[in-house]
A and B are shown apart, each in its own frame.
Chain A
């Protein structure tokens, strides 16, 4: 059964009590929330995700709740709990769904250390995956959103999870978070894009979430082997440029984006070494989404880097 097999009000009711068990890639999450805006956004954006029977075990027990006391009604707040831990300060209740998404990322990056976890987007085409690593504000999510709207499969927009025993990346396929101008940009760029409510005044400005393509969700149990490591940067007015990047530098730069490189120790070194061995590494600058997509499509079709894009 999928989320969309239920009506929004049925989902909202289940979320209130006893909660909903659903799967995103390797993780089974038990979500509970009485907050309507979260239920509504969940119903819309997680529509294609499978619900699972409560077999007794969940990887994460997540609650997005209202506080007791007067902040329940006066400038109402939302609280995020994972397994009873509260990692964030309360936020305005209008930001509750964004809090859920950030909190979910927190759960994975705090607990899922069986994987090497890199703060990067990862997408796949024709059996090969591209890792997009960049600091916040570089347009990584916008680029990811554009590419998955043009045929690339989404594994994740924030968390690249590598199984160190096989070198394969696993998919989570959760909604892509968009900020500020990107929200309308992607709405215009991708036909049929389903975008959740625009949430204002967060620490990052305005935030909205793009529903992942159904195909990406249906294939979330398919891992992918990375073949490209790209460091993208959106630069207004810049020419589209894909430039080879020295592998030793790419190693360190990518490791810099990892959450748990140090924790994995020599295993992380070997995992990254094999990754960098296999992957073509690039720096990518762009200002135009159509041109950017064309560059990636050329990569996917096997065109050598020298003839791509520049």
Chain B
């Protein structure tokens, strides 16, 4: 699935409700809205940090992430990014934004 056809904009809308801790390479985040606690890998945590600053369109997000992580934004990367976005949306950590 190619991200640039997506067109959706993503955002973290409740950054102030999230509490973070980090141990070694993993992040534990408590969502005081839903009451859920999650363990996230560094990439997912980075995603949430970026989306907490402003909204991103999916393709734009993959370019930014790829450059920060020093990898190619190839098909496999975009696929994994899409899966991560879906999962984070399912957990109500990120939402589709209107702008």
Q: Do chains A and B touch in the complex (CB under 8 A)?
A: yes
- A-side residues, CB < 8 A to B, are 246-249, 251-252, 255, 261-262, 265-266, 269-270, 273, 276-277
Q: How far is the CA of A261 from the CA of B23 in the complex (A)?
A: 20
**Is there an interface contact between B32 and A252, defined as CB atoms closer than 8 Å?**
no
**Is there an interface contact between A246 and B23, defined as CB atoms closer than 8 Å?**
yes
Looking at the complex, which one of A246, A247, A252 makes contact with B37 (CB distance below 8 Å)?
A252
**Is there an interface contact between A252 and B28, defined as CB atoms closer than 8 Å?**
yes
**Is there an interface contact between A248 and B39, defined as CB atoms closer than 8 Å?**
yes
Q: How far is the CA of A130 from the CA of B24 in the complex (A)?
A: 22
**Is there an interface contact between B24 and A246, defined as CB atoms closer than 8 Å?**
yes
Looking at the complex, which one of A246, A247, A248, A266 makes contact with B30 (CB distance below 8 Å)?
A266
Identify which of residues 9-46 in chain B touch chain A, using a CB-to-CB cut-off of 8 Å.
Answer: 19, 21-24, 26-28, 30, 32, 35, 37, 39
- Knowing A266-B30, A266-B32, the reply to whether A248 touches B37 (Cβ < 8 A) is no
Task: Give the dominant DSSP class at A's interface.
Answer: helix
| 24 A–B contacts, CB within 8 A, in A order | A246-B23, A246-B24, A247-B24, A248-B22, A248-B24, A248-B26, A248-B28, A248-B39, A249-B26, A249-B39, A251-B21, A251-B28, A252-B37, A255-B37, A261-B37, A265-B32, A265-B35, A266-B30, A266-B32, A269-B30, A269-B37, A273-B21, A276-B21, A276-B23
- B-side residues, CB < 8 A to A, are 19, 21-24, 26-28, 30, 32, 35, 37, 39
**Is there an interface contact between A246 and B26, defined as CB atoms closer than 8 Å?**
yes
**Is there an interface contact between A262 and B35, defined as CB atoms closer than 8 Å?**
yes
Q: How far is the CA of A269 from the CA of B20 in the complex (A)?
A: 9
**Interface pairs A-B: 9 shortest CB-CB:** A248-B26, A247-B23, A269-B30, A273-B21, A248-B23, A248-B39, A266-B32, A248-B28, A251-B28
Within the complex, what minimum Cβ distance (angstroms) separates B51 from chain A? Answer: 21
Q: How far is the CA of A265 from the CA of B33 in the complex (A)?
A: 10
Within the complex, what minimum Cβ distance (angstroms) separates A209 from chain B? Answer: 35
Within the complex, what minimum Cβ distance (angstroms) separates A246 from chain B? Answer: 6
**Is there an interface contact between B39 and A252, defined as CB atoms closer than 8 Å?**
yes
Q: How far is the CA of A248 from the CA of B40 in the complex (A)?
A: 9
Q: Name the CB-closest residue of B to A253.
A: B39
What residues of chain A lie closer than 8 Å to B30, measured between beta carbons? 266, 269
What residues of chain A lie closer than 8 Å to B23, measured between beta carbons? 246-248, 251, 276
What residues of chain A lie closer than 8 Å to B32, measured between beta carbons? 265-266
What residues of chain A lie closer than 8 Å to B35, measured between beta carbons? 262, 265
Within the complex, what minimum Cβ distance (angstroms) separates B15 from chain A? Answer: 15
Q: How far is the CA of A277 from the CA of B24 in the complex (A)?
A: 11
Given A249-B26, A251-B23, A255-B37, output 14 extra A-B contacts at Cβ < 8 Å. A247-B23, A247-B24, A248-B39, A249-B39, A251-B28, A251-B39, A252-B39, A265-B35, A266-B30, A266-B32, A269-B19, A269-B37, A273-B28, A276-B21
Q: Name the CB-closest residue of B to A261.
A: B37
Q: How far is the CA of A262 from the CA of B19 in the complex (A)?
A: 15
What residues of chain B lie closer than 8 Å to A252, measured between beta carbons? 28, 37, 39
What residues of chain A lie closer than 8 Å to B26, measured between beta carbons? 246-249
Within the complex, what minimum Cβ distance (angstroms) separates B21 from chain A? Answer: 5
Q: Name the CB-closest residue of B to A256.
A: B37
**Is there an interface contact between A248 and B27, defined as CB atoms closer than 8 Å?**
yes
Q: Name the CB-closest residue of B to A252.
A: B39
